[in-house]
Amino acid sequence: MTSPTTALRQFSLRSMRHSLRDAEALLMAIFLPTMIMLLFTVIFGGAIDTGGGEYVDYVVPGVILLCAGFGSATVAVYVATDMQNGIIDRFRVMPIPAYGVVVGHVAASVLRNAFATALVIAVGVMLGFRPSADVQQWLAAAGIIAAFIIAITWLFAAIGLASGSPTAANGYGFFLLFLPYLSSAFVPTETMPSWLQPVAEHQPMTPVIESVRSLLEGRPAGNDAWVALAWIAGILLLAMLWSMRAFRHRGGGR
């Protein structure tokens, strides 16, 4: 049997090639969050009060997480497509770990998201984003962002495995993309209607965004970081268990 490391490398390269061929989805995942940031900072930024400071400094962490969601959503479609077209069944009878195709999709998506995140930050800097974080805070923020990207990518992979078709996978995953809008990504939660504030404050996106925002602004993340890491760990564990169960349920094998 082909070693897991070799199989993972080949499956990751396969997923990257598919991404490059699907130019429309790749451009959408990379440039749509950038356009959203331009929309909020250039057009809406002057009308939004965040309680002090430049709005671009406030909004960049939220756009980074939004970028992760858009970039990871394509994994659900790619995985569902592989499950539907029968390529997984072919991999099952070959001397390779068939589940590696899912891991390959996740690994390729994480690489795409890393590039998109760097692009969002670069555009933010051009728009006036001036983080005051030191090296340790940058590393901590990068670690939280990377962990979130991995967790949300696995969640979309599980959705793709559990869905009956690529269209259904795209539809189910679409609901997750609304979470950043119901968080502190674009406006402080205290400015929201009273009935919506508990939803915004007690969902996973808000503590992740707030911890990244605090670190990039050079402030301690405090309890937000621990809450964020707890949410990320829970999502990752649930997503991996769900994906493995769905993979076995839809054909069994390695």
What pLDDT shows up at residue 145?
A: 94
- 92 close to 253: Cβ distance less than 8 angstroms: yes
- Residue 99, pLDDT score: 66
Can you state the angle between helices 135-162 and 223-249, rounded to 10 degrees? 30
Neighbours of 175 (CB within 10 A): 9
Work out the number of other CB atoms within 10 angstroms of the CB of residue 185: 26
pTM: 0.86
Residues 6 or more apart whose CB falls under 8 angstroms from that of 81 comprise 166
Distance of CA 171 to the CA centre of its chain: 16
Which are the contacts of 51, defined by CB distance < 8 A and separation ≥ 6?
Answer: 188
Q: pLDDT truncated to tens, each residue of the chain (254 aa)?
A: 555 566 566 666 666 666 666 666 666 666 777 787 788 777 776 666 666 567 888 888 988 888 888 878 888 888 888 777 766 666 665 555 666 777 888 888 888 888 888 888 888 888 888 888 999 999 999 999 999 999 999 999 999 888 878 888 887 777 788 888 889 888 888 888 999 999 999 999 999 999 999 999 999 988 999 999 999 999 999 999 998 888 877 654 44
Q: Strands (DSSP E) along the chain, which ranges?
A: none
Sign of CA dihedral 14, 18, 19, 20: positive
pLDDT value for 253: 47
